[in-house]
Structures are given as structure tokens and as C-alpha cells.
């Protein structure tokens, strides 16, 4: 009895397995029917429009292919080959700046009159020799010329020169107008004329000069100051009653009194109060 039961059980199990296997096969057939074939996929791809990215990729591939094709066509240059230097053209005619002088004028245009030679003095020689030419043609040699440090006083320093005679002011000079004042008897060259016979034609000079000094902090401080120099005059120059050396600059200060030769006139240098 036990063996028959076992056989029946085995047969039942085999039948169940066969049933399940057939069911699986039927499911596979249904799924294969619903799944599209390879031909259907190709047809769908051909019908669907291409995306912008795929077109861009295809265009870039074509551009690369063309670029490679052009590079293959271009001649290859070896390392030893160098580009040829362009030689400058040799001009047979006149330079561009000379074309006007070589231009041919037409018969209708009037010719320009040629400039006549001028043999008059240009004044450059007199300037180089430090002299002044008078109206009669004679040159007057100057005994003094300004140094490189010559400067006009700044607008804040309005230096003035007051001329006293017997305690009265007879004349005033605004020294801030220029950097150099030549004093003497020669009216043709001097800036400030003094008619006393004891003065030389070119007696002395008041010169404004730019000088630099270091302050207590070690910094350079520049300033324009007045100086006086005697031009080796016959009777000398005095500042505050003392004769100054010839040919040397002496700094002038506010309210200094200057006298020339044996003249009794007093020239007082003053800086107006601020």
C-alpha cells in the first residue's frame, strides 16, 4: 500500500510540474507577441525627428572630418624651413617729404616766387654772446646772465623795493614781476636806472634764486629768495652799511637797506605783511 501511494504522489507531482511549465511557456509567448521586433524599432527610429543635440553632434563630426581633410591637403613644412623675409622696396624717386619740391606745375598755375636771400643779422649771435643790439646797430655786452636756478617769486611773496631820498619815497619797484633786476646807469640794458655818476653802467643785480635746505626732520624744503651780486663795480655796493664782496651772491632779507656807489639814495627791500 505504501508503495502505491508513493507512486501516485510522484505522478501527481510530475503533472503539477508539467502544468506549471506549460503555463510559463504560454506567458513567454504572450510577452514576445507584445514586444516590438527589430524591424519595427528601425522603422520607428526613421520616423521620429532627430533631437538638436544629435544634429549638433553630427555637425561637429562633419566639421572635424573636413578640418582633418584640409590638414591632410596642406603642405607639411619641415623644421629646417624658415619663412622668407620680405625685402624693403627700393624707391627710385624722391622721398614723400620731397615730393613737393619735385612736383611739376601745370602751365595754368602761377609759379611761386622764390624767396630772396636775407643777409640781415638774426640776433642769435648776439644772444649767444650775451649782448644786446641797439638801434644804431652797435652791440652792448652784458656783464651778467641769469643762473639755472633763477625763478620768479611766488605770488604769495610780493617783494617790493622802496627808494628813499632824504627820508622821502621817490620811487617804488615791484620786484615780483620778474626774476632778475639789473641796476646801473646804462638805460639801454638796465632794469632799474640810477643816474648818479659814482655808479657803473652795469653796477649790480638783484636775483631771485630757488634754493633747497633741510629742516629739523631731514626733509628738503625749497624756496625762492632774493639775492644781490655786485658786478665788480668801481665804487662797490653796501648792504646795511657794509660793503659786500664782488661777484658773489648775498642773500637779502626783509627791510635790508642797499646803497650803490657814493649815492645817498637808500633802496629798502620789503615784504608786505601777510
State how far the alpha carbon of 215 is from the alpha carbons of 209, 218, 221, in Å: 19, 5, 7
pLDDT, greater one: 239 or 124: 239
How far is it, in rounded angstroms, from Cα 267 to Cα 251?
Answer: 15
Q: Taking 80 as the threshold, does the pLDDT of residue 128 lie above it?
A: no
Q: pLDDT grade, residue 99 (50/70/90)?
A: very low
pLDDT in tens, 162-218: 999 988 999 999 999 999 999 999 988 999 999 999 999 999 999 999 999 888 888
Give the start-to-end residue ranges of the domains of the chain: 148-270
Closest alpha carbon to 161 in 244, 229, 255: 255
Percent of the chain with pLDDT over 70: 61
Cell numbers given for 74: 596642406
In this prediction, residue 15 carries a pLDDT of: 75
Task: Tell me the Cα Rg of the chain.
Answer: 56
DSSP state for residue 56 in the 8-state scheme: H
How far is it, in rounded angstroms, from Cα 121 to Cα 233?
Answer: 31
Beta strands in 84-235 (DSSP E): 131-133, 139-141, 160-165, 168-174, 180-184, 192-193, 204-214, 220-230
CATH number of 148-270: 2.60.200.20
How far is it, in rounded angstroms, from Cα 26 to Cα 255?
Answer: 133
pLDDT in tens, 233-263: 999 999 999 999 999 999 999 999 999 999 9
Amino acid at each position: 500500500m505504501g508503495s502505491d501511494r508513493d507512486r501516485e504522489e510522484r505522478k501527481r507531482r510530475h503533472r503539477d510540474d508539467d502544468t506549471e511549465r506549460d503555463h510559463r511557456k504560454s506567458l513567454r509567448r504572450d510577452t514576445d507577441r507584445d514586444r516590438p521586433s527589430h524591424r519595427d524599432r528601425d522603422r520607428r527610429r526613421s520616423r521620429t525627428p532627430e533631437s538638436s543635440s544629435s544634429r549638433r553632434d553630427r555637425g561637429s563630426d562633419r566639421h572635424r572630418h573636413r578640418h582633418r581633410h584640409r590638414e591632410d591637403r596642406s603642405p607639411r613644412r619641415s623644421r629646417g624651413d624658415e619663412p622668407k623675409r620680405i625685402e624693403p622696396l627700393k624707391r627710385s624717386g624722391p622721398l614723400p617729404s620731397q615730393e613737393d619740391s619735385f612736383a611739376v606745375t601745370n602751365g595754368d598755375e602761377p609759379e611761386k616766387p622764390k624767396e630772396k636771400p636775407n643777409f640781415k643779422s638774426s640776433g642769435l649771435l648776439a644772444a649767444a654772446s650775451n649782448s644786446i643790439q641797439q638801434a644804431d646797430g652797435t652791440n652792448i655786452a652784458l656783464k651778467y646772465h641769469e643762473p639755472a636756478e633763477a625763478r620768479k617769486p611766488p605770488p604769495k611773496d610780493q617783494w617790493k623795493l622802496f627808494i628813499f631820498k632824504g627820508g622821502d619815497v621817490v620811487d617804488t619797484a615791484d620786484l615780483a614781476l620778474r626774476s632778475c633786476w639789473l641796476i646801473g646807469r646804462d638805460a639801454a640794458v638796465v632794469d632799474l636806472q640810477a643816474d648818479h655818476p659814482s655808479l657803473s653802467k652795469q653796477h649790480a643785480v638783484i636775483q631771485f634764486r630757488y634754493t633747497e635746505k633741510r629742516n629739523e626732520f631731514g626733509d628738503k624744503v625749497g624756496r625762492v629768495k632774493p639775492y644781490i651780486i655786485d658786478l665788480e663795480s668801481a665804487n662797490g655796493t653796501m648792504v646795511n652799511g657794509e660793503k659786500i664782496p664782488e661777484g658773489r651772491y648775498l642773500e637779502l632779507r626783509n627791510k635790508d637797506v642797499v646803497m650803490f656807489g657814493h649815492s645817498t639814495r637808500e633802496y629798502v627791500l620789503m615784504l608786505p605783511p601777510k
